[in-house]
Structure 1
Amino acid sequence: MSTSPLVSLLPQLASGAAHTHALGFEFDRLEGDRVRIRVPWREDLVGDPNTGVLAGGLVTALLDHVGGLAVWIALDRFEPIATLDLRVDYMRAAEPRRDLIAEARCYRLTRSIAFVRAWAFENEPDDPVAAAQATYVLSARGAREADKARAAETAR
């Protein structure tokens, strides 16, 4: 596991924003380049009171947020990013009264865009409630820093 200072910030980055705190997001773990966060089941987060299943909008917010965390891990630093595109495929209803876990991995970084895949599930990522494909815009400063890092690496 990385010893980057960013790793120690992951719990705060996972739940420190007003909306992520209100939704109860919690950092779960980092395994290599895969980040996991969890949202504990709460009655006020249910989309359909008859089923007890968490709301679809919560799933989308969870996938978008874990995707951003994966970008920061790939960059190995915190910098402003913005979601450019997010596609979520809902594969099944979440299980009633169960916590939901989301895992994401940034699989490609360019000068200005990060590409991420993410999954939401209760137990195992191979049985997802939903899967996401997302792109995030990197800040201009971040793109310049990435260019400098690539130039330094090439010079070695």
Structure 2
Amino acid sequence: MSEKERKAAQQFMEAIPHAKALGMQFTSLGDGCAEMKMPYDQRFIGDPETGVIHGGAVFALLDTTCGAAVMAHPDVKGTTATIDLRIDYMRPATPGQSIRTRATCYRVTRSVAFVRAEALDEDDTSVVATATGAFVAEKK
């Protein structure tokens, strides 16, 4: 990640308090792609018996990663907002492991950007959830 991308990512995270509260961190950003991770935290457990992270925390991570991918697209200027985001949960996240996400902004129209993403455990064995979404985006 370049210094310019690092600064943009930092500004993005500071503008979203819940992202900071959930411990989200960028691992890669640029050219319409973003990758983030969220460490396992007992505060985010949805099922105390199994220790599985709540789906809402996974959703928030995917939404944030998708928005970052839109902002990192070379044809987009300015900020973005979620219009629609569909999440398909494939399996529970593995208790004790960080969750990693990667998103790609694959199409930008005059005012809407389209994104695909996935969430995985840190060991990359299989997908926890997938996402497809539409975001407000002003084309350059």
Bin the TM-score by the shorter chain: 0.7 to 0.9
Q: Does 1:37 align with 2:42?
A: no
- 1:82 corresponds in structure 2 to 81
The equivalent residue for 2:136 is 137
CA RMSD of aligned residues (A): 2.2
Q: 1:44 to 1:15 in 2, by over 3 A?
A: farther
Q: Deviations over 1:77-130 (max 9, x none)?
A: 662311111000000110011110011000000000000001000133x72100
User: Could you tell me how far 1:31 is from its partner in structure 2?
Assistant: 6.6
**Conserved 8 A contact 2:31-2:74:** no
Equivalenced residue count is: 139
Contact residue 30 and residue 72 of structure 2 kept, 8 A: no
Distance 2:94 2:44 in 1: 13
Aligned-residue sequence identity (percent) comes to: 39
- The answer as to whether partners of 1:72 and 1:78 remain within 8 angstroms in 2 is yes
- State the AA in 2 paired with 1:102: T
Matched, 1:97 2:96: yes
Q: Identify unmatched segments of 5+ residues in structure 2.
A: none
2:46 is matched with which residue? 47
For 2:51 and 2:23, locate their aligned partners in 1 and report how far apart those are by CA, in whole Å.
17
CA contact (8 A) 1:14 1:65 kept: no
1:32 shift after superposition: 5.4
Give the strand-richer structure, 1 or 2. 2
Q: Could you say which residue in structure 1 is the equivalent of 2:24?
A: 25
Q: Which protein shows a greater Rg?
A: 1
Q: Give the TM-score normalised by structure 1.
A: 0.79
The DSSP-based 3-state class of the residue aligned with 1:79 is: strand
More helix by share: 1
Separation of aligned partners in 1, 2:22 and 2:13: 11
Q: Distance in 2 between matches of 1:81 and 1:58?
A: 20
**Which blocks of at least 5 consecutive residues in structure 1 are unaligned?**
147-156
1:15-67 deviations in whole A, cap 9, x for unaligned? 65211111111111237543111100010011111111111001111111100
1:71 match: 70
The answer (yes or no) to whether the contact 2:32–2:71 under 8 Å persists in 1 is: no
